[in-house]
Structure 1
Amino acid sequence: MSLSRRSLLGALAVAVPSFALSGCATPAPDRAADIGMPGDLLPERVRMVIPYAEGGGTDVWARFLAPRLTDAMEVPCRILPDNLPGGESIIGSNRYARENVSDGSSFLITSGTTHYQYMLGRPEVEFDFAAMRPLLVNAGGGVIYGSAEAGVRGIDDLFSGNTRLRYGGISATGLDLTALLAFDVLKLDVTTVFGLEGRGPARLAVERGELNIDYQTSSAYKTQIVPLAEQGRATPLMSFGQLESDGSVSTDPALSDLPTVREVYRDAYGEDPSGPAWDAYRAFLGAGVTYQKGMWITAETPDSVVQPFFDATRRLQQDEAFQEESAKVLGGYPIYAGDEVDEVRSVLTLSPEVRAYVLDLLATRHRTVIRGA
C-alpha cells in the first residue's frame, strides 16, 4: 500500500528530508531544444554526496534510486556516488554546503538524521535547507516492538510497571529520537543506552534479551521482526504513524494493522495527546518519518538542470515494474518530485519552544547535551 499524497504533504507543517541532484551528459543541440533545455547547463558527470557510510540504509537507498532515475530521464546521465560519512551526516553535508555548487554537478543525499541535526541547531551544522531545493522526497515508516521472551507480550506491559523497559540505539540525536519522543509522549519509563552501530545490532540485542523494546523501519520490520513475531518471540506494538496536513497523526497505510502512537496514548489515557511532548513528537515525525529521505541541490541551480529529475521521478511514479522492484528498498512508500513538495524547505525549522523542550529532554533523560544549540 502506498502513502497518500495528503499524508506526505501533511508533514510539511513540520519537517522534510533533504537531498540533491545528479548530473547529466550534455545532449546534442537538437535533443536539448526538443526538451526545452540548454545543453550547456547539464554536466557530463554528477557527484552524489552521501554523508553516510557505504552499505548503510541511506547509502543503499541512494544507490538504488540513482540509476533508475537516470534511466527514466530524457537525457543520459552519469552519477558518481561519493560517501563522506561522519558526525551523524554533518561532515559530508557541511562539505556540500561549503562547495556551494550551483551548476548541477553535485547534489546531496539526506535522511532523517541529517534533518534532526539541522533542526536541533547543532553548532557544527553549516548546511541550510533554506538555501537548497528538494529534487525528490521519499517517506518512510517505523514500528516499535517488544521482546515477548523478555516480558513485553502486549501494550499493557508498557504501562504496568512490572517490566523494566530497556532500549538501545545509535544516538539520541539521530533517528532514535523519534522513538525517544514516542516514549516521552506515552509517559513510559525506559532505560536507554546508545552507541550501537546500527538498527541491526539493536535487533540482535533484543533477540539476546539484552534489550526488550526497540524500533525498526517498515522494511526491516516486515523482513526481520514479523518472522520473530510468528515464532512468538517478538511483539509488534505500534507504528509511528504519518503526519497529515492538519498536523494530526494518521495510520501508516503500509502498517495499517498496527495502532499509532496517538491511538496507544488515547487507549491508555482516555484522551488524545497534546502539549509540548506531542508537539515535539509531531515535529520530528515529519522530518524523520514522513519525509525520511531525499535528494537536495543548491537553490541557485537552474530549472533547466533540475526539471529532468522532476520529470523522471514522475515517470517512475507511474512505472509498475519500478514499484514492484522498489517495494523492499522503499518500504512501499512513494517517491515525490521536488516541485510537488518544494515547500518542505520551510518546515525544517523548529519553534523555540519545541527546540527548548527537546534539548531539555535529551539532557535530563538521555544524558545528551548539545552545547551551543
Structure 2
Amino acid sequence: MSATKRIAATAVLAMGLASVPALAETPFYEGKTIEVLINYSAGGPTDVEARLIARHLGKHIPGNPTIVARNRAGAGGMIGMNYMADVVRPDGLTVAIFSPPVFTEVLGDAGLDTRFKDFIWLSSLAVPQICYVRRDTPPGVEEPADLLQAETFNASGIRPTSTHDIRMRLSLDVLGVDYNYVTGYKGLAGASAAVLQNEAQYSCGSIASYRSSVVPSMVETGIAMPLFYYAVVDATGNDVLNASLPDIPTFRDYYRSVHGENPSGEVYEVFEAVNNLKTSLQRGSFVPLGTPDEAVDALRQAWKALETDEEFLSAYEEAFQAKPVISHGEETMALIESLDDIDADLVKFLSDYIAAGSDN
C-alpha cells in the first residue's frame, strides 16, 4: 500500500472511530443494594413517610439499585444517628431518612455521639405540627376558642427533650391556658392514643400522624377537633402558609383570634426559633462524610426528581392528604450549619425549661 493510500485509510478509520458513541460509564449504583435506615419504629409516621419515599427514590437513581428499608429506633432518634456515625461505612450503600433529633444536638445531649454537620445532607422535608383537643374537655370545647376557658387538662407528650413536647408546652404557655404536662408515651401514636382513651385531652402531631390516625379515629367521629398548626415564620415576620392545611389556622392566627393581638415575649420568641428550625428539618436524608461524590450526586438528583414524579406525588398526597415540601442539598446543609449559630441564651432557656418539665 502506498503512503498516500495508508494516509487515506488512516483518515477513514479515524473518522469511523469518531462516529462511534463513547462508551457510557457504568453508573455507581448499578448492581448494588441501598439500605435506607429509619430512626423510628415501624408503623409510625417517620417510618411510613420514609418507606414511601424509598419506594420511589430508587427509580430515579442511575443503575436502578435495589432499595431495602430497615428501622434502627430508640432514644428519640439518637440510636439511629449514632449508628450512622459509628457503624455505617461511607460507601454510599446506607442512606438515612430520619426525623433528626435537632435539639438533642443543640442542647448537647451526652447520648448523641456525633454532630449533624458530620454528615453530607441530601435533602429535607418541612412538616408542620397540628394540635388538637377533645371536645368533651370540661366544661366543653364547642369551637376552637373555647380552649382558653377549659378546665385543667392533660397534654400528652413523648419525652421532655423532644421538640414535639417542647413546642407543645411553649405554645400552651404562650396562650396562657391551664394544663398538666404528661409525657413518656411511645411516639406520636402513643400520645394520640392517650387522647383517644381520654387519659389526655390535648396533643399535637405531624401531618402524617394527624391525617392517618387522628382524623379517622377522633376528628371524623366527633371526639376531637383541630385547633391550629405551627407555621414557619419568615424573615419579614409573616407565616409561611401550608397549602395542604387551608381550613386550619396557624398558631399566630389562632392567638390573634382569641387574644386580639400578635403573640410576643420571650417564651414566644423561643417557640418561634425552635419551631422554625424543627419544622424545616422534620425529615432529613443524609450519608456519612467521605461518601463518594458519584453517590452523593446520584442521590441528590434522585431527591430532586421526586418533585416532578407524578406517581410519587399522587401516592404521597393519598397517604397524607398533603403535598411534600422538599428542600435540597445546599439549602439543607445551610440549615444544618445554622445549628452552630443558635444563641447561647436560647439554649440556656431551653435547658432550664426542659428541666422544669422533667420535674412534673
Q: Distance in 2 between matches of 1:78 and 1:257?
A: 40
Q: CA offsets per residue over residues 272-306 of structure 1, 9 Å max, x none?
A: 22333222212221333232102111243233211
Q: Distance in 2 between matches of 1:318 and 1:334?
A: 12
User: Match for 1:251: what amino acid?
Assistant: L
Question: Equivalent of 1:332, from 312, 316, 323?
Answer: 323
Question: Equivalent of 1:95, from 66, 70, 83?
Answer: 83
* TM-score (norm. length: structure 1): 0.80
1:62 matched to 2:50: yes
Q: Secondary structure at the match of 2:274?
A: helix
Q: Secondary structure at the match of 1:318?
A: coil
User: Match for 1:99: what amino acid?
Assistant: V
1:362 matched to 2:354: yes
1:221 matched to 2:214: no
- Aligned residues: percent identity? 26
Question: Equivalent of 1:352, from 336, 344, 353?
Answer: 344
Q: CA offsets per residue over residues 62-116 of structure 1, 9 Å max, x none?
A: 222123111122222233434222211212211221236333232323214x223
User: Match for 1:210: what amino acid?
Assistant: E
Shift of 1:43: 8.6
User: Match for 2:301: what amino acid?
Assistant: D
Q: Distance in 2 between matches of 1:247 and 1:75?
A: 45
Q: Give yes or no for contact 1:116–1:287 (8 Å, CA) kept in 2.
A: no
Shift of 1:127: 1.7
Q: CA offsets per residue over residues 241-289 of structure 1, 9 Å max, x none?
A: 2343556433322212222111222333333223332222122213332
Q: Distance in 2 between matches of 1:30 and 1:75?
A: 15
1:53 matched to 2:45: no
Counterparts of 1:313-324 in structure 2 under 5 Å? 313-324=303-314
The gaps in structure 2 that reach 5 residues or longer are 1-21
1:31 matched to 2:24: yes
Q: Distance in 1 between matches of 2:221 and 2:48?
A: 29
Q: Secondary structure at the match of 1:309?
A: helix
1:128 paired residue number = 115
Shift of 1:321: 2.0
- Structure with larger Rg: 2
Aligned CA-pair RMSD:
2.6
* TM-score (norm. length: structure 2): 0.82
Query: Number of paired residues?
Result: 333
1:141 paired residue number = 128
Alpha-carbon spacing, 1:328–1:361, altered in 2? closer, same or farther (3 Å): farther
Question: Equivalent of 2:160, from 149, 172, 176?
Answer: 172
Question: Equivalent of 1:181, from 146, 170, 177?
Answer: 170
Alpha-carbon spacing, 1:362–1:139, altered in 2? closer, same or farther (3 Å): same
Counterparts of 1:8-47 in structure 2 under 5 Å? 30-32=23-25, 39=28, 44-47=32-35
Shift of 1:198: 3.0
Q: Distance in 2 between matches of 1:296 and 1:266?
A: 38
1:268 paired residue number = 258
Question: Equivalent of 1:86, from 74, 99, 115?
Answer: 74
Question: Equivalent of 2:224, from 221, 231, 234?
Answer: 234
Question: Equivalent of 1:76, from 64, 70, 80?
Answer: 64
Q: Distance in 2 between matches of 1:226 and 1:197?
A: 19
Q: Give yes or no for contact 1:42–1:104 (8 Å, CA) kept in 2.
A: no
2:6 paired residue number = none
The higher relative CO (CA closer than 8 Å, separation ≥ 6) is in 1
Q: Distance in 1 between matches of 2:311 and 2:332?
A: 24
1:15 paired residue number = none
Q: Distance in 1 between matches of 2:78 and 2:159?
A: 14
